[in-house]
Amino acid sequence: MKRPDSSSWASDHAKEDAGANRGRSIRSKHNATSKKQIESHPRSNDKSLSDRTGSGRDNRTRTPRRRVNSRRSDSKQLADTHSESQSFALWGGLELKKTIVNSILKMGYEYPSDIQKASMPWVLQGRDVVAQAVTGSGKTAAFGIPMCNFVDPHSREVQGLVLVPTRELAQQVQRELSLIGRERGVGVVAVYGGEPIARQIKLLEQGMAIVVGTPGRVKDHMNRRTLDLGSVGMAVLDEADEMLDIGFADDMEYILNRTPSARQTALFSATIPNFIRGLIRRYLDNPRWIQLVSDTKGLETVDEVDQIFYDVASQDKADGILEILDDLEEGSQILIFRKMQIGVDRLSKGLAGEGFAVKGIHGGMSQSERNRVMAAFRDGRLKMLVATNLAARGLDIPTISHVVNYDMPENIEEYVHRIGRTARMGKRGTAVSFIGEWDFELYEQIIAKIGEDKMIKRKFSFY
């Protein structure tokens, strides 16, 4: 049975009509003040930022690595010459600089999360680490605390480097590390594409201890000689598998090859697929593996997320999303994933036409527009966002109650990350997945890897 009031947009959508917005009547229960439509921009996302000339591999200039225990000793001594760093305090049994403990307590972090407890002792020792733990478990602070603890805030050299796959994640990680390092006066800058490079250069010139960036823009700064990584003692690859997946492999290698080979390297993700092992072999030295996920399946979703699956034909997805949205409680915050930028534009226009206050976000939009949309979604002014995979990784917006896979992702890792945008740090959440005609292979994998016991099967009323 079709919904009488959704037939126009829904059937237009079924025909993939780009002009699907028909100015429907505004629904009273949703705030429909914001009906601004997101324009479609030419394709230019983070991926295209990276100037992948292939030179990374040819320029490998690594020297043999020093032994683990001799690493970072120079900079550590440097840091210890400052009286501030002589003052220590315990946090969950871990000895940290007092100023760091003060900051993290102010952030409300009273004790370490499981992954922090398991990985931080090794990271603090200077060991290379591969850490895998479910989404929303506090991986950022697991490397951020040791990094802010390690660097010398008085030095003008970049000593900590964090590479991340997206601009929004760079901004978020920069914010978290700034908070962790606040009392200690640790300078943290984010560098990413789509923003005037001059502003970033100005910040870099001030002498920042930590740089968080997307590989494309980091490399760009290195080529302009506005960023020198010759003093990096600790490098972190956050969401490394995604960086490889979206084509940053050469940039990452280029960058890592230009940091001291004696540096400490850590890799954090909720998923460690096999294709990442080459990178680990080349750039990590006898790493300590910390895997807080099922070792038989190698993949895990958090228990607090209800994973609901609907079979739905492509032409009925629009009706399906309306049925889902009509059932949502007031105050829900929902993130809807689509595969293509054009699909994001169409769905956000279609839903806006139905009276929903909704925006879209994808790599074809200007960075200032992306920032505006993200800021509104983060602070809860915006309750509904349609996104490409750009929003699948790392984003921490604890108020998100629902994730919808309107289009299923390409693979099971992306599924795990997408649904991981909800149910963070012990909160509950719901993930709804539309299983279309082409998604059965992935669906079978989800059954095999995530487990049928974690899955809830439902049927739309119109079937």
Determine if 138 is a binding residue for ligand ADP (CB under 6 A). Answer: yes
Residue 41: strand, helix, or coil:
coil
Question: Among 372, 393, 388, which residue's Cα sits nearest to residue 44?
Answer: 388
Output the smallest distance, CB 227 to ligand ADP, in A. Answer: 25
**Binding partner of residue 215 among ligand ADP, Mg ion, none, CB cut-off 5 to 8 Å per kind:** none
> Cβ 65 to Mg ion, closest distance in Å?
27
Are 241 and 270 within 8 A, CB to CB?
A: no
Q: Of 52, 139, 378, 383, which one interacts with Mg ion (CB under 5 A)?
A: 139
By beta-carbon proximity to ligand ADP, the closer residue of 50 and 119 is 119
CB of 203 to ligand ADP, least distance (A): 23
CB 190 within 8 A of CB 227: no
Say how many residues make up the chain. Answer: 463
The two tokens of residue 44 are 């230019």
> By CB neighbour count within 10 A (0-12 exposed, 13-18 middle, 19+ buried), where does 286 fall?
exposed
Q: Which of residues 348-387 bind Mg ion (CB under 5 A)?
A: none
Q: Is 378 in the site for ligand ADP (CB under 6 A)?
A: no
**How far apart are CB 363 and ligand ADP at their closest, in Å?**
21
In whole angstroms, how close is the CB of 238 to ligand ADP at the nearest point? Answer: 7
- Asked if 319 and 3 touch (Cβ cutoff 8 Å), the reply is yes
Q: Which is nearer to Mg ion, 273 or 451 (CB)?
A: 273
Subset of residues 386 to 405 that bind Mg ion, contact rule: CB under 5 A: 394
Q: What residues numbered 78-97 form the site for ligand ADP, per CB under 6 A?
A: none
Neighbours of 370 (CB within 10 A): 21
* 434 scored as a contact of ligand ADP (CB under 6 A): no
Q: Which of 38, 120, 141, 322 binds ligand ADP (CB under 6 A)?
A: 141
Neighbouring residues of 382: CB distance < 8 A, sequence distance ≥ 6: 34, 357, 358, 359, 373, 376
Please state whether beta strands 94-97 and 88-91 pair in parallel, antiparallel, or not at all (unpaired): antiparallel
Convert residues 97-136 into a mask of x (bound to ligand ADP by CB under 6 A) and - (unbound): ------------x--xx--x------------------xx
C-beta atoms surrounding 70 within 10 Å: 11
Q: How would DSSP label each residue in 316-365?
A: GHHHHHHHHHHHPPTT--EEEE-SSHHHHHHHHHHHHHTT---EEE-TTS
Nearer to Mg ion, 302 or 322 (CB): 302
- Please say which residue, 139 or 317, places its beta carbon nearer to Mg ion: 139
How many positions of this chain bind ligand ADP (CB under 6 A)?
Answer: 15
CA atoms within 13 A on the CB side of 5: 12
Per CB under 5 A, the segment of 58-66, 125-133, 138-146, 365-373 that binds Mg ion is: 138-146
Q: Write out the two tokens for 73.
A: 């000793």
| Calpha distance 180→66 (Å, rounded) | 29
The contact mask relative to ligand ADP for 389-408 (x = CB under 6 A, - = no) is -------x-x----------
Among 424, 429, 434, 439, binds ligand ADP (CB under 6 A): 424
Of the candidates 167, 162, 175, 176, the one whose C-alpha atom is nearest the C-alpha of residue 391 is 167
Identity of the residue, 56 or 213, whose beta carbon is nearer to Mg ion in the bound complex: 213
Nearer to ligand ADP, 4 or 108 (CB): 108
Tokens of 257: 């090859």
Of 71-79, 139-147, 312-320, 373-381, the window that binds ligand ADP (rule: CB under 6 A) is 139-147
Say if residues 159 and 233 touch (Cβ distance below 8 Å): yes
- Dig out the tokens for 130 from the structure: 């591969």
Give the interface with Mg ion as residue ranges (CB under 5 A): 139, 394
Give the interface with ligand ADP as residue ranges (CB under 6 A): 109, 112-113, 116, 135-141, 396, 398, 424-425
